[in-house]
């Protein structure tokens, strides 16, 4: 399965507000990078130790709480978000938070990490953009391998 790259077009001069749910390695890196390039970012995570993981130059906010609970997302100001990114290690959590973000809070764009590739079609059917680590890794390997393989005479690449 090959996935299409996700493009986010932001009008020049607008401050884009992003909520990142799940502050493990992926979520923390996404939030930090977006913060560094000028996005308004709020990270949401259950673990209060998340604050200890933040790099010094992180310019966003942190909400400690369960993103599956409405009150937590209200504290994160989900109603004002332009983009929701879910990066927990649990597809069920990512799916639920993504749906609530889109349907209840009206977040116009939702991107979710999907750990089990069998769940990818469900997310896509629900209008959620997908990042599948397995598919991205395999696609990258395939691209790099094919880049260095010469086709035999008469074969097309």
- 105 within some domain: yes
Say how many residues make up the chain: 157
**Confidence band for 153, pLDDT divided at 50, 70 and 90:** low
Convert the pLDDT of each residue in 22-61 to its tens digit.
999 999 999 999 999 999 999 999 999 987 888 988 989 9
Report the pLDDT value the prediction gives residue 52, as an integer from 0 to 100. Answer: 86
- 151 within some domain: no
- 110 within some domain: yes
Range of the domain at 73: 17-132
- 141 within some domain: no
**pLDDT of 5 above 60:** no
- Overall pTM > 0.85: no
- Decide: 88 and 108 in contact? Cβ < 8 Å: no
- 89 within some domain: yes
Which residues are CB-contacts of 99 (< 8 A; sequence separation ≥ 6)? Answer: 126, 128
**pLDDT of 20 above 80:** yes
- 7 within some domain: no
Question: How many domains does the chain divide into?
Answer: 1
CATH code for the domain in which residue 59 is found? 3.40.50.720
- 108 within some domain: yes
């Amino acid at each position: 399965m090959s996935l299409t790259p996700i493009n986010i077009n932001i009008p020049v001069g607008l401050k884009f507000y992003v909520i990142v749910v799940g502050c493990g390695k992926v979520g923390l890196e996404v939030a930090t990078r977006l913060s560094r390039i000028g996005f308004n970012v709020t990270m949401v995570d259950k673990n209060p130790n998340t604050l200890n993981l933040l790099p010094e130059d992180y310019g966003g906010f942190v909400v400690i709480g369960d993103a599956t609970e409405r009150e937590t997302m209200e504290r994160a100001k989900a109603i004002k978000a332009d983009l929701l990114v879910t990066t927990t290690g649990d597809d069920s959590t990512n799916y639920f938070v993504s749906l609530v973000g889109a349907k209840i809070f009206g977040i116009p764009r939702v991107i979710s990490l999907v750990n089990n590739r069998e769940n990818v079609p469900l997310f896509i059917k629900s209008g959620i953009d997908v990042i599948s680590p397995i598919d991205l890794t395999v696609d990258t390997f395939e691209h790099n391998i094919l880049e260095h393989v010469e086709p035999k005479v008469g074969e097309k690449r």
